[in-house]
Chain A
Amino acid sequence: DQQVKQNSPSLSVQEGRISILNCDYTNSMFDYFLWYKKYPAEGPTFLISISSIKDKNEDGRFTVFLNKSAKHLSLHIVPSQPGDSAVYFCAASAPGGWDDMRFGAGTRLTVKP
């Protein structure tokens, strides 16, 4: 059951522009959401997270937006840099279900110089 969906397998943007990665979820019990970045031959690394009590969380060039009514979250990267080229996974967890985190299939971001 795909409770977390990333419908865009890939995204290509120009350096300096904004990258917007999207994620949809179906389980209304999810209350914590995370974004991970994965380079080839490395494990995913935590990037940014957001609790369901917020609708925005910002960390430097990275901002995550949460729209609970639409069950949608997005990651904005501004400005995009070539080093941001990686696969980005969104993940979600329900209360008390911290041992069972659901991941999307990932979006491959390519930032062109």
Chain B
Amino acid sequence: ETGVTQSPTHLIKTRGQQVTLRCSSQSGHNTVSWYQQALGQGPQFIFQYYREEENGRGNFPPRFSGLQFPNYSSELNVNALELDDSALYLCASSLSGTIYEQYFGPGTRLTVT
């Protein structure tokens, strides 16, 4: 059974640029959630996808968008990057109905300069 993987591990972007982060769900999981973890804080919910549809969204602006593919892998896209977007981005997969037992990937560390 393959765990949750994320790519890239680290990324450096310039303010105003766009970035795409990728996540492969654990085998058999049809739900993926994305979180932003700023330094010294806990993960903050960005949004969730279930069967390729956005299924819930936290308090993040529309320049944060996502996709889920038929194989349940997922992307997080951030447009017009700001310095405050520098953070660890975590994705977590789960089975619908067992959302509490999420399995997290190791995260992508994004630095915006």
- Chain A residues within CB distance 8 Å of chain B: 4, 6, 9, 32, 34, 36, 41-46, 49, 89, 91, 93, 98-106
Which of A32, A41, A105 is the one whose CB lies under 8 Å from B41?
Answer: A105
Number of A-B contacts (CB under 8 A): 56
Q: Are B42 and A34 in contact (CB under 8 A)?
A: no
Binding site for A on B (CB under 8 A): 4, 33, 35, 40-45, 48, 55-56, 58, 90, 92, 99-107
Pairs across A and B, CB under 8 Å, 24 listed: A4-B42, A6-B42, A32-B100, A34-B100, A36-B104, A43-B92, A43-B104, A43-B106, A44-B43, A44-B90, A45-B104, A46-B100, A46-B101, A46-B103, A93-B100, A98-B100, A99-B45, A99-B48, A101-B100, A103-B42, A103-B44, A105-B41, A105-B42, A106-B41
